[in-house]
Each structure stands twice: as C-alpha cells, then as structure tokens.
Structure 1
Amino acid sequence: MDQRAPIPFNRHLTFWALACLGCAADLWSKHYMFSQPDLLAHDIRWMWEGHAGFQLSLNEGALFGMGQGNVWVFASCATAAAVAIPVWLFVFGAARDRGLTIALGCILGGVIGNLYDRLGLPGLQWANWDSARSGTVHAVRDFVLIARRWPPQGQFDVWPNFNVADSLLVCGAIALFLISWRRPDRPPTPESAVAS
C-alpha cells in the first residue's frame, strides 16, 4: 500500500460516523434500560421466554466479567485505545484500508461507551444496588440477557449480560480477525484507495 497516498475524506466520515453512532446507541440504550422501573426492581423482561430478554447488571470487570475490581486498569486501557486508534488510522495511514476503518470505527464506539460507565459518568450510586457498598458506581451497565435451558427441563445456562458497546467490540474484533486473513491479489494503487 502506498503510504504517500492521501487518506480519502470518506474514511474520516465513515470512521467518525460509526464511532459516534455506535457510542450514542450504546449510551441511549443503557440510559433507557436503567430507567425502567421493572428492571430496576431486579425483574427480568423476557422477549423470548427463557431464552432472551433484559436484566440489569453492573460489571466491574472486562469481557465475560473477567478481572472484577480492576476498573481503573480497564479505564486506562480504554483511554489509551481511544487515543491510539485514530492516531494509527489517520496519522500512520491505516485508514487507507476501508475494512480496517469500519472495524475500528465500531471498536472505538464500544470503547468510549464502556469507558463512560467506568468513569462513573452515569451517576449511579452503589447504595441503590448493594446496601453493603457506598459511593459512585464505576462499572459497565449491562442489560442484554441470553439464557438457555439444558436439558430442556433442566437448569438455565446464562450467558454473561452484555450491552451495545460489547456487541460493537466483539463484531469489530471478529472483523479484524477476518481482515487479517485477507490476502489481496495485488497491491492497491493510490487511485484504487481513493475510489474505494
């Protein structure tokens, strides 16, 4: 890839639009779900009985709840990623690749959505969730519940609750994996980079 070719304007538009829309969808959906009285009362709102619905939870860890209690480590990593991704794309020129730009736009939207929660910006208080704790909640707000009963009359297996930001992060990571397997037939020219 010719590193001297200018980065097309549509790459900036694509990246920032995906990041902003993804983050907005995440924050709006969290705000909406965490304002529902039945969910705040710890009820489950089933969309498909026994399989998919909504249930509120707070995650002080990372993906699948790993690393519970290390909220500031994850917040620091998210801050570094929020700076590094645009720099890599637009300063070092990785944005010449459309697929990479799309995947990283989704990832940045998810990173910022969850970072907002880790910084305690929603203003939730622990006293409303756990009577043994006090202070501001610095945890990711999750609400999507996926469960299955196995065997059919047995106990539920529940997937860890997640949110829109988590979905963006996972889809972006899968896209990056698939992009890494891509083998172009020939190196792109500056003209093809601008056209795509």
Structure 2
Amino acid sequence: MEHSLSLWPRRVLWFCLLAAAGCIADLWTKQVVFASSELFHGSEWWLIEGHVGIQKSLNEGALFGMGQGKVWLFAVFSILAAIAIPVWLFYYRAAEDFWLTTALGCIMGGVLGNFYDRAGFSGLTWDRFDPTRQGDTIYAVRDWILFQASDQWVWPNFNIADALLVCGAIGLVLRSFYLAPDEDDPKKDKVS
C-alpha cells in the first residue's frame, strides 16, 4: 500500500500537466488562428496544398457537427466530465494505472479547451461568420484544422482539443483491450 501511495503525487502532477498543456495549446492555437482577419472558407492557408490547411469554422454541436444548436447541453456534459474524471482517477484510484492517467489527462485537456469556447469565454461575436447574428456572442467551439483527401472527401474541421479527446478515447480503448496493467498496479501482486 505504501508503494501505491508514493505514486499519487507523481500521477496527480502528470494528470495536471497533461490537462493544462493540452488546454493551453488548444486555446493558444485558437487565439492565434482566430485573430487573423482571413482564413475563412475560400481564404484557407494550405500547409500541404489541397490536403492539410488552416481554415476557421465554428461548431455549435459536437463531434462531426452532430447536435447543432445544443451548445448548452454539451457545455453541461463538459462540466460533468470535468467532475467525473478526477473522481474516477483519484477517488476510485484509476490513477494507479499510468495509461488511464495519461488518457484521462488528454481527455481533460480537450474537455476544458472546448468548454472554454462553449461558455463564450473567447469573446468573439458572429460578425463575419454569420452577419444575421452580428454582435451576438459566439457560444461555439472554434475549429481550425482542415484536412481533406480530395475536394469530395473533406474531414470536418477540428482543433487540438478534439484531437486530445480522440487520442484519449483511443488510449482508453487500447488500455481496456490490449495493454497489460502497470507494474505499479497493486492488484497484480495479489495471489488468487
């Protein structure tokens, strides 16, 4: 048990570092991209011509634009996730597993980054995005990463928070099905 307790400060620090770094990277890149007066549809900046670029868009829904207009519902889900993740990690002791801590740190960074936008903290108004709503505060996730295989196959724009959420979810799936428990896992030491 003593060995398990010595893990906690490191796991708390690791979780907080991942969540904070992910959220900061997300919010900083959004700020940089959305400060530009360009980069709307038709004025993209291509990193790899016709395939990977930067283009501003707003999403009032969730994954792939599902649930458009239900921004407050997704904001509530974000709050619930921001409460549930630390409870799972630190009350139910999932933090004893490095992979769970890592996956949930990534997810928390993504949750916080997108919640910031859904709560309207970005300070943006709809002006150029939707002139009929000019002056209204934007309560939508700022997306900016553009990816397409061709003009017919265009992936919905996304951001770093979305990438963190997906990577964290993949990490949870991999941990569930494929990865062995941590060497630090006290359950491993139990004799059946």
**What TM-score results when the alignment is normalised by the length of structure 2?**
0.89
- Structure-2 residue corresponding to 1:94: 94
- Structure-1 residue corresponding to 2:153: 157
| 1:1-196 alignment, distance < 5 Å | 5-6=4-5, 7-39=7-39, 43-134=43-134, 135-149=136-150, 155-182=151-178, 184=180, 190=186
Aligned-partner Cα distance in 1 for 2:55–2:179: 42
Distance 1:34 1:183, change over 3 A: closer
Distance 1:69 1:41, change over 3 A: closer
Aligned-partner Cα distance in 1 for 2:80–2:117: 16
Flag structure 1 segments of 5+ consecutive residues without an equivalent: 150-154
Amino acid at match of 1:81: A
Aligned-partner Cα distance in 1 for 2:181–2:120: 48
Amino acid at match of 2:109: G
Deviation at 1:91, TM superposition (A): 1.4
Flag structure 2 segments of 5+ consecutive residues without an equivalent: none
The answer to which of 166-175 and 29-38 deviates more is: 29-38
Deviation at 1:190, TM superposition (A): 3.9
Deviation at 1:42, TM superposition (A): 5.4
Deviation at 1:77, TM superposition (A): 0.3
Deviations 1:35-58 (A, max 9, x none): 122225851101111111000000
1:128 counterpart SS class:
coil
Aligned-partner Cα distance in 2 for 1:76–1:122: 18
Aligned-partner Cα distance in 2 for 1:90–1:130: 43
Aligned-partner Cα distance in 1 for 2:181–2:99: 16
Deviation at 1:5, TM superposition (A): 3.8
Aligned-partner Cα distance in 2 for 1:51–1:97: 38
Aligned-partner Cα distance in 1 for 2:143–2:178: 33
Distance 1:42 1:117, change over 3 A: farther
Aligned-partner Cα distance in 2 for 1:104–1:78: 13
Deviation at 1:127, TM superposition (A): 2.6
Is the contact between residue 44 and residue 54 of structure 2 (CA under 8 Å) also seen in structure 1?
yes
Aligned-partner Cα distance in 2 for 1:147–1:186: 38
Is the contact between residue 60 and residue 71 of structure 1 (CA under 8 Å) also seen in structure 2?
yes
Is the contact between residue 42 and residue 56 of structure 1 (CA under 8 Å) also seen in structure 2?
no
Percent of residue pairs identical: 51
**What TM-score results when the alignment is normalised by the length of structure 1?**
0.87
